[in-house]
């Protein structure tokens, strides 16, 4: 009973933080960026420019342009990520729709680019930290990462540089440069909120339910696990340690799986640079 309540708490808290994150991004867009013709990277940036050129609501473009990306990435990334992301995108769409009539806090473009970037980065960071995303290009980058020699970060950077360059033709090159400032500020804030943007994370898990956890990680994440023999330093009793390497997007799902079997399990996470076939994700059945 306690385990079920704990799992319910994890799910509810995840979605609450996603709502908060989407609200922050909505504020950044409608109160600072969009009124001053500053764009964000990724699909949101394309949505802002599409709304400006067509006169249609930006929230509509955020949903429509994101949906194909996540439909393609659903089988590659997993159901939990897809559900969290669709929820986040819908919350953002609702947020920008209701905040649309609210006037900008400042007409100073430089201040808007700074504070818009800070608030936007904080919101996106919260969403990523809780297993979701607002940018369909990141899902595509994960898929391309498995088929090319480029990292996820490099692929996302190319996408965003292309989008920010397009802003120069739509709004003028001064706005494109302000948009670039916003993008890098947001990137750094995301780094702080998520505690590192390394794409690969090495995870050590210590739990008496190591067999069930190992099977669940293989089945639900498609990741290979390694069981290490260890001994407790205090009592000297033998113990089993699970080691697995995952992407940062999978961390929230991994924690949910582990705590679903043992809420007292010890999980330690560190950044790693992973390569080789053993790290490649297996198909999830």
Average pLDDT score over residue span 65-87: 76
Q: Do residues 100 and 185 both lie within one domain?
A: yes
Q: In what order do the strands lie in the sheet with 266-272?
A: 226-231, 238-247, 200-206, 266-272
Query: Is 170 in contact with 220 (CB distance < 8 Å)?
Result: no
Q: What is the pLDDT of residues 19-32, one digit of tens each?
A: 999 999 999 999 99
In a domain, 269, yes or no: yes
* Model pLDDT, residue 235: 67
* Model pLDDT, residue 274: 65
Average pLDDT score over residue span 3-28: 88
* Model pLDDT, residue 282: 58
Q: Do residues 31 and 139 both lie within one domain?
A: yes
Q: Do residues 114 and 206 both lie within one domain?
A: no
Q: Do residues 222 and 173 both lie within one domain?
A: no
Q: How far is CA 280 from the centre of its chain?
A: 20
In a domain, 187, yes or no: yes
Q: Which domain holds residue 51?
A: 2-194
In a domain, 255, yes or no: yes
Pair type for strands 226-231 and 266-272: unpaired
Q: Do residues 64 and 182 both lie within one domain?
A: yes
Tokens 């799902």 correspond to 253
Q: Indicate the pLDDT class of residue 153, thresholds 50, 70 and 90.
A: low
Q: Indicate the pLDDT class of residue 233, thresholds 50, 70 and 90.
A: low
Query: Exposed (0-12), middle (13-18) or buried (19+): which is 21, by Cβ within 10 Å?
Result: buried
CA-to-CA dists, residue 189 to 116, 148, 251, angstroms: 11, 28, 19
Q: Do residues 175 and 214 both lie within one domain?
A: no
User: What is the secondary structure of 249-272 as a DSSP string?
Assistant: GGHHHHHHHHHHH-TT-EEEEEEE
Given a cut of 60, whether residue 38 has pLDDT beyond it is yes
Q: What is the pLDDT of residues 111-145, one digit of tens each?
A: 999 999 999 989 988 888 887 888 777 666 666 66
* Model pLDDT, residue 28: 94
Between CA 176 and CA 134 the distance in angstroms is 21
Query: Is 237 in contact with 244 (CB distance < 8 Å)?
Result: no
Domain total of the chain = 2
* Model pLDDT, residue 6: 76
Count of Cβ atoms closer than 10 Å to residue 237 Cβ = 8
* Model pLDDT, residue 105: 82
- Whole-number mean pLDDT of the chain? 82
Q: Do residues 214 and 126 both lie within one domain?
A: no
Q: Do residues 36 and 111 both lie within one domain?
A: yes
* Model pLDDT, residue 195: 60
Point out the domain boundary residue: 165, 194, 223: 194
Greater confidence (124 vs 283) lies with 124
* Model pLDDT, residue 221: 84
The CATH number of residue 231's host domain is 3.30.70.120
In a domain, 121, yes or no: yes
Point out the domain boundary residue: 161, 194, 227: 194
* Model pLDDT, residue 234: 66
* Model pLDDT, residue 17: 93
In a domain, 109, yes or no: yes
* Model pLDDT, residue 201: 84
In a domain, 267, yes or no: yes
In a domain, 285, yes or no: no
Q: Do residues 217 and 173 both lie within one domain?
A: no
Q: Do residues 138 and 225 both lie within one domain?
A: no
In a domain, 284, yes or no: no
* Model pLDDT, residue 236: 66
Contacts of 41 (CB under 8 A, 6+ apart): 135, 156, 159, 160, 163, 164, 183, 186
* Model pLDDT, residue 99: 87
Between CA 217 and CA 276 the distance in angstroms is 19
Between CA 257 and CA 72 the distance in angstroms is 24
Q: What is the pLDDT of residues 250-263, one digit of tens each?
A: 888 889 899 989 88
Point out the domain boundary residue: 194, 221, 237: 194
Q: Do residues 131 and 164 both lie within one domain?
A: yes
Query: Is 139 in contact with 86 (CB distance < 8 Å)?
Result: no
Q: Do residues 158 and 275 both lie within one domain?
A: no
Residue 149 three-state SS: coil
Q: Which of 148-152, 201-205, 269-273 has the lowest mean pLDDT?
A: 148-152
* Model pLDDT, residue 148: 67
């Amino acid at each position: 009973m306690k385990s079920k309540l704990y799992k319910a708490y994890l799910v509810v808290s995840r979605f609450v933080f996603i709502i908060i994150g989407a609200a922050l991004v909505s504020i950044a867009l409608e109160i600072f960026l969009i009124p001053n013709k500053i764009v964000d990277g990724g699909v949101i940036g394309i949505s802002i420019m599409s709304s400006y050129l067509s006169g249609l609501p930006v929230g509509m473009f955020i949903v429509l342009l994101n949906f194909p990306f996540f439909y393609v990435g659903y089988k590659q990334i997993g159901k939990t990520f897809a559900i969290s992301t669709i929820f986040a995108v819908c919350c953002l769409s609702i947020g920008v729709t209701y905040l649309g009539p609210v006037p900008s806090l400042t007409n100073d473009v430089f201040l808007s680019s700074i504070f818009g970037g800070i608030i936007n980065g904080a919101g996106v960071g919260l969403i990523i930290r809780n297993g979701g995303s607002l940018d369909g290009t990141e899902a595509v980058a994960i898929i391309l990462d498995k088929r090319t020699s480029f990292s996820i970060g490099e692929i996302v950077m190319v996408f965003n540089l292309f989008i920010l360059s397009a802003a120069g033709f739509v709004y003028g090159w001064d706005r494109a440069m302000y948009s670039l400032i916003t993008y890098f500020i947001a990137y750094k804030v995301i780094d702080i909120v998520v505690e590192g943007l390394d794409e690969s994370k090495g995870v050590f898990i210590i739990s008496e339910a190591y067999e069930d956890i190992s099977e669940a990680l293989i089945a639900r994440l498609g990741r290979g696990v390694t069981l290490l023999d260890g001994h407790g330093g205090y009592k000297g009793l033998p113990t089993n340690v699970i080691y697995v390497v995952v992407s940062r997007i999978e961390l929230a799902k991994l924690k949910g799986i582990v705590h679903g079997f043992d809420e007292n399990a010890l999980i330690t996470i560190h950044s790693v640079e992973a390569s080789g076939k053993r790290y490649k994700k297996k198909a999830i059945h």
